[in-house]
Structure 1
Amino acid sequence: MEASTRTPGPRRHETLAERLDRNWNELLQEFRVAQTGIQILFGFLLIVPFQSGFTEVDSRQRWVYLFVFACTTIATICILAPVMAHRILFRQKLKDSLVRLGSALAMASLAFLGAALVGAVAMIVSVVLDTTAGWIAGIATLAVVLVLWLATPLAMRGDRDLDEVDTGR
C-alpha cells in the first residue's frame, strides 16, 4: 500500500513517560531475540579454532573466520551496551536518551550480525565446496539480509516520518 493512501490507525493516548517505557520494553524484547542468536554464534566461534580440523583451513578462510569473529564480538558488545547504560542511567530521568541509544545500538548490533552471517556462510561453503561457491553463497546471503532486514522495512515505512511511527499513529 502506498504511504500516501494509508489511513492512520487509532492514535495512542499515552504520556511521554508511558511512550518511553513502551519503547524501552519493545527494545528489550528485540534485544532478547537478537541476543540469543548472537550468543549461539559467538559460542560456536569461540571453540572453532581449537578443533583439529581448523588446521586444514587456508589463510584466506582464517581471515574470513577472524572477520566473522570480530563482527560477532562487536555485535555482542553492541547488544549488551544498553543494559550497562541502563544500569548507569537508572533513575537519572534520561529514558529518552536511553531509548535512542538502545535503538542505535540495536541497529549496529544487527548490522554486525548480518556481516557475521554473510562471512560465516561464505566460509562454510568455501570449506565444504570451494572458494567460488563460498563467494556466491556469501553474496546471496548478503542479498537476503539486505532485502529482508533493510529494503523491506524501509519500503513498508514509505515516507512516514519517524515521529509519526514512534508515537504509534
Structure 2
Amino acid sequence: MQTGVQLLTGFLLTLPFQQRFVDLTDFEVGVYLVTVALSVLSTMLLVAPAGIHRALFRQHALPALVSTSHKLAVCGIATLGGALVGVVLLIFSFVVSPRVGLVAAAVAAVIFCGLSLLATVLRLRHRVDDDRPTRG
C-alpha cells in the first residue's frame, strides 16, 4: 500500500508541469490541491511507523509502537480514501464534466466507505465467533 500511495503522490506532484494543466477550471485546481494535500498526508502517515520503529528499536516499547503504528495506518488509509475520491473527481470532471465528476466521486466514496464498513463487520463477526465456547 505504501508504494502505491507514494506513486499516486508522485504522479499528482507532476501534474502542474503538464501542458494541459492550464486548462483546469478553478474548481478543478481546488480539487487538485486538496487531493495533493490528502495524498501527501496519507504518504506521511503510512511512512511514519517505519521512522518510529527505528527510533524505538531495542527500547522494549513494542506495545506503544504497535498501537501508534495502527492509529497512523488507519488515518493514512482514511486520507488515502479521500485522495482517491479526489482523483476520481478530478479526472471525471476534466474529461467529462464537473457534474459527472461529482457523481463518480460520490460512487467512489460510497464504495470506499462500504468496503471499510464491510471489513469492520467481518472482523467483529470473526471476533464474536472466536469468543464462543467450543463443544466437546
Within 5 A, what are the aligned runs for 1:126-137? 126-137=93-104
Once residues 59 and 121 of structure 2 are traced to their aligned partners in structure 1, the CA distance between those partners, rounded to angstroms, is 37
What RMSD in Å do the two structures reach over aligned CA positions?
A: 1.2
Within 5 A, what are the aligned runs for 1:62-141? 62-141=29-108
In the TM superposition, what is the alpha-carbon distance from 1:123 to its structure 2 partner? 0.8
Once residues 55 and 40 of structure 2 are traced to their aligned partners in structure 1, the CA distance between those partners, rounded to angstroms, is 22
Once residues 122 and 77 of structure 2 are traced to their aligned partners in structure 1, the CA distance between those partners, rounded to angstroms, is 19
Q: Give the TM-score taking structure 1 as reference length.
A: 0.73
Specify the code of the residue in structure 2 equivalent to 1:71: L
TM-superposition CA deviations, 1:14-36 (whole Å, max 9, x none)? xxxxxxxxxxxxxxxxxxxx111
Paired residue total: 128
| Aligned position for 1:158 | 124
In the TM superposition, what is the alpha-carbon distance from 1:94 to its structure 2 partner? 0.2
Identity %: 36
TM-superposition CA deviations, 1:64-120 (whole Å, max 9, x none)? 000110000000110111111111111110011001111111111110100000010
In the TM superposition, what is the alpha-carbon distance from 1:60 to its structure 2 partner? 0.6
The answer to which structure, 1 or 2, has the higher relative contact order (CA under 8 A, 6+ apart) is 1
Q: Give the TM-score taking structure 2 as reference length.
A: 0.90
Unmatched 5+ stretches in structure 2: 132-136
The equivalent position to 1:51 in structure 2, one of 5, 12, 18, is 18
